[in-house]
Amino acid sequence: MSITEISVHELALRLADHDPNLQLIDVREPEEVAMASVANFTILPLSQYQEWSPTIATQFNPQAETLVICHHGMRSLQMCQWLQSQGFTNVKNINGGIDAYSLLVDPNIPRY
């Protein structure tokens, strides 16, 4: 099953909508998030998979739209694939990650 990707411009529009049903996941490491982040994302570092994976289907609604971000889009793609394998039906990868978001949407977010 293929993963849908959205642009950082689309992410900015979706964030501006303040949709309470939109689920936002950031899979970067805590030290990366400390350097650069977008508000309202739940931090689930891939390196801590063993800690958060058992409760993913109770922490998030598998039917709700779920957007996943990382630094450039590779780790988030892995997470999207895993979420689909866990029964999540509306998962989208943020193309280019936080780096593209900083470059193209919000230059106040530092690049690293």
Domain holding 99, by residue range, is 4-104
- Say if 110 falls within a structural domain: no
Residue 14 belongs to some domain of the structure? yes
**Structure confidence by residue, pLDDT tens digits, 17-30:** 999 999 999 999 99
Residues annotated as catalytic are: 70
- With residue 61 as reference, give the H or E element that holds it: none
> Is 48 a domain residue?
yes
Q: Are strands 66-69 and 42-43 parallel, antiparallel or unpaired?
A: unpaired
Does the residue 109 lie in any domain?
no
How far apart, in Å, are the Cα atoms of 57 and each of 29, 35, 60, 85, 91? 21, 29, 5, 11, 13
CATH of residue 46: 3.40.250.10
The domain total for the chain is: 1
In a domain, 112, yes or no: no
The pLDDT value given to residue 39: 93
Is residue 37 assigned to a domain?
yes
Is residue 111 domain-resident? no
Give the tens place of pLDDT for each residue, 53-96.
Answer: 999 999 999 999 999 999 999 999 999 999 999 999 999 999 99
Q: Is the pLDDT of residue 1 over 90?
A: no
Are 71 and 35 in contact, with CB atoms under 8 Å apart? no
